[in-house]
Amino acid sequence: MPDYLAFDSASRRLRLGPHTPAFVQNPYEAYAFLHGVSNAFFWEDYGFWCFGGFDDVNRLLRDRRFGRQNPAGVPDSRGVGDDRSHLTAFDGIEANSMLELEPPVHTRLRTLVNRAFVSRQVERLRPRIEVLANELIDRFEPGSVDLLPAYASPLPITIIAEMLGVPVEMGPQLLDWSHRMVAMYMHGRTREAEETANRAARDFAAFLRGYVAERRRKPGDDLLSLLIEAQDNGQKLSEDELVSSAILLLNAGHEATVHQTGNAVRSILAQGGDPRRFFETPERNAATVEECLRYDAPLHMFLRYAYEEIEVSPGISVKPGQMIALLLGMANHDPLVFAAPAMFNPARTDQKNVSFGAGIHFCIGAPLARLELQVSLKTLFERLPELRLAVEPCFRDSYHFHGLERLAATL
């Protein structure tokens, strides 16, 4: 048992601070221990049951007796206190976010938004992503570079901004708003973080409402124009739904991809040798990206609410309104499903992962994220085969998001 956690096998209760440095830097050590004693446990630091077995996570993601929509009526009840009067703008965005809704509203929103994210539509972006990747590499200063701000971050935010039709030069501001809103999901958030997130939500929404009004007057071939015009059985998105959907796409369209790109570069360089070998063919490229998604995923915890009294697994029952956590990063390392799960092996025959979720909330941007990773990683290592880490990178203290603080590399 790692010395930074405590586990009672009789009650299946875990004490593990999510900010514990050893856990932040390597959660897989704790996951490996837990796989050996119990894939399901009550995480006392959070106050809910967690499930980390691959089959359990895959099953529960698809179980419609659980959902994202809080039966109490607010998007996220885990606050500093019961008073949410300072979160009006944030809650307004979340109330219309398809990630936080269930059918029939979720079905209508997803049907309208999904038209832009089907694989055949996304594949058309491949040449643009390749051009952008090369342009970013051309801007690297000689000698060394931090790949997160210089490469991993600008590529996805530029692509999603271009898709939506908002100014690419707004990228840094969009990132700032996104980071402040995402802080709402961190363990142990403060009142100050909540107020900052609310201001970001207010300003983000106001910015997008201006662009929605402009696109109503003068439609283009961008995603905002498409969403304005899209109908499902005669129903259109309301302006609030439009704004929430655009914010979700902007936030989700870069946040996880940035983390995954950084994690993937770190994983590939750790293998030594010529990194180009992982991208020699389209098939090998795709398999490498899938293994990166399994091996070191950017999102490790996905929360769901119970909608009825359920025996989730033998000896574990939850009541309506109670939350459970599905540990995606732990599930991707389940030794009952993956041979040598701690080994990076793109050629594995048991290749699969739950990094994009499953069921009705499967990540709508998965085809785009996969394409961005395939193009950006291949381009980076083909252009810079001698790329090496300048220092061993550290992960940010931001569980359940899992990404690096910096990715300093020598060219």
pTM over 0.85: yes
The enclosing domain of 49 has a CATH number of 1.10.630.10
Q: Structure tokens of 199?
A: 């201001």
Averaged pLDDT, 141-164? 94
Q: Is the pLDDT of residue 114 over 70?
A: yes
- For 287-306, what is each residue's pLDDT tens digit? 999 999 999 999 999 999 99
Instruction: List the one residue out of 12, 39, 10, 16 whose CA is nearest residue 341.
Output: 39
Does residue 62 form part of some domain?
A: yes
CA–CA gap between residue 185 and residue 194 (Å, rounded):
10
Does residue 223 form part of some domain?
A: yes
Q: How many whole angstroms from its chain centre is CA 30? A: 21
Listed range (65-79, 260-274, 323-337) with the worst mean pLDDT: 65-79
Does residue 296 form part of some domain?
A: yes
Does residue 134 form part of some domain?
A: yes
Q: Is the pLDDT of residue 77 over 50?
A: no
- For 359-406, what is each residue's pLDDT tens digit? 999 999 999 999 999 999 999 999 999 999 999 999 999 999 999 999
Does residue 72 form part of some domain?
A: yes
- One-letter amino acid at 156 equals P
Does residue 1 form part of some domain?
A: no
- Residue 116 contacts residue 124 (beta carbons within 8 Å): no
Does residue 102 form part of some domain?
A: yes
- Looking at the structure of the chain, the number of domains it has is 1
CA–CA gap between residue 225 and residue 218 (Å, rounded):
9
pLDDT value of position 237? 84
The burial of 80, by beta-carbon neighbours within 10 Å (0-12 exposed, 13-18 middle, 19 or more buried), is given as middle
Which range of residues forms the domain containing residue 299?
6-410
CA–CA gap between residue 229 and residue 243 (Å, rounded):
14
- Residues 6 or more apart from 213 whose CB is under 8 A from it? none
